[in-house]
Amino acid sequence: MFVDKARIFVKGGKGGNGAVSFRREKYVPAGGPDGGDGGRGGNVIIEVDEGLRTLMDFRYKKKYIAESGENGKGKKMFGKDGEDLILKVPPGTIVRDEKTGLVIADLVRNKQRAVVARGGKGGKGNIHFKTSTRQAPGFAEAGDYGEERWIILELKLLADVGLIGFPNVGKSTILSVVTKATPKVANYHFTTITPNLGVVEEIRGKSFVLADIPGLIEGAHEGIGLGHEFLRHVERTKLLIHVVDISGIEGRDPIDDFEKINEELKLYNPKLAEKQQVIAANKIDLLEDMSKYKEFEKIMNERGYKVFPISAATKKGLRELLLYVIELLDKIEDNVEIINDQETHKVYTLDSLEDDRKEVIVRKENNFYIVEGKPIEKLVYSTDFNDIDSIRRFQNILKNRGIFEQLKEIGIKDGDTVKILDIEFEYYD
């Protein structure tokens, strides 16, 4: 099944906690702290695999969480870093942050990677908290939580040439004849409901990737019919073969069809209408009056388009069409337009996200004064409330961060209750 869009949750692994440990060896009195640091949490990484053609793997499984880092150990031993979680996607996959809609990465090359959720840093062991006045710190630092977010994966097929046109004009038949692809072919509209890819091999020693885009109809850019789901796949083709039914056996005018399809391309994305097009006048074998073809060819030539009379059913004219396409591809620069919100998104991923992780909120709810935020949660997990040095460090950090001042600003008084996570304290100035 072809899947070209997926929504998944990704979360980096939690960093391991630092260790509380003391050196204990014979003949070494008061050995001091020797707790090692926790390991880094694993990252969630999106990687391109050129063997994939769909996002089917993400249809059912929606949550991906990387491995956490190991806790630190005694004797200054660090915890092991968590393994990175690597998710494979086909080339042409765009990764967006759901919250902002911004592009995290546009992946087009094989093995190209992007980190979409970073693992948390490991916490420091108690060896880092030894001072001249605190010789035996009984506390260590907790590891950071990994980044987490919902992301949207959106596939835009990477094909050299795209087949476009109204339903039932013969696009799938052309693909099946000139490649080894086996699309569903039948004499009714919307036989093709998903894009199909095939490789046209050995035309003058060269090959190219050909994509059959599901039939477009008038209003496709607004969501009418099936084409609007797949217009994005036209965006990255270098060249378009515009297939028309020159026989008119369904009562449609090929010139009118040609103009309507191009109008849909223009309304969806003006750049699509600017792509170079070659016209394949299909079903020429069913045309009794060749003057109709000559008239069509003359009008299209005057507009600057090259027209090839073909019959996909009998293979007539296909080689001439493909030879011309190869000739054009040699002249068109290999320039895939990359969607890049990097400058904007850089602010979100590196700065704003870090600001979110550093943010502390102080508020009043009913009779409680609540302090919350990732830094405060980490501080609580790093505090041993049975150790006087650890409690003093806890209070000093709250003071240095201005938490006490914020509490005073919202009206806290001696004896009021402060709540951090599930822990409650009585406030005294």
Buried b / exposed e along 343-359 (16+ C-beta atoms within 10 A): eebeebbeeebeeeeee
Express as a percent the part of the chain with pLDDT over 90.
30
Q: What is the mean pLDDT of residues 30-57?
A: 89
Query: Residue 245 has what pLDDT?
Result: 92
Give the pTM: 0.69
**pLDDT for residue 401 is more than 70:** yes
Q: What is the mean pLDDT of residues 37-66?
A: 91
Buried b / exposed e along 267-279 (16+ C-beta atoms within 10 A): ebeeebbebebbb
**pLDDT for residue 192 is more than 50:** no
Query: Residue 87 has what pLDDT?
Result: 96
SS3 323: helix
**pLDDT for residue 355 is more than 70:** no
Query: Residue 205 has what pLDDT?
Result: 67
Type and span of the H or E element at 327: helix 318-331
SS3 97: strand
Type and span of the H or E element at 312: none
Q: What is the mean pLDDT of residues 126-153?
A: 86
Query: Residue 209 has what pLDDT?
Result: 83
Strands lying side by side in the sheet with 368-372: 361-365, 368-372, 417-420, 423-426
Q: What is the mean pLDDT of residues 296-312?
A: 94
Contact 168, 188 (CB under 8 A): yes
Query: Residue 12 has what pLDDT?
Result: 95
In which band, very low, low, confident or very high, does the pLDDT at 154 lie, cut at 50, 70 and 90?
Answer: confident
In which band, very low, low, confident or very high, does the pLDDT at 189 lie, cut at 50, 70 and 90?
Answer: very low
Q: What angle do CA 418, 421, 423 make, to 5 degrees?
A: 55
Q: How far is CA 146 from CA 32, 80, 86, 122, 422, in A?
A: 31, 16, 15, 10, 22
Q: What is the mean pLDDT of the chain?
A: 82
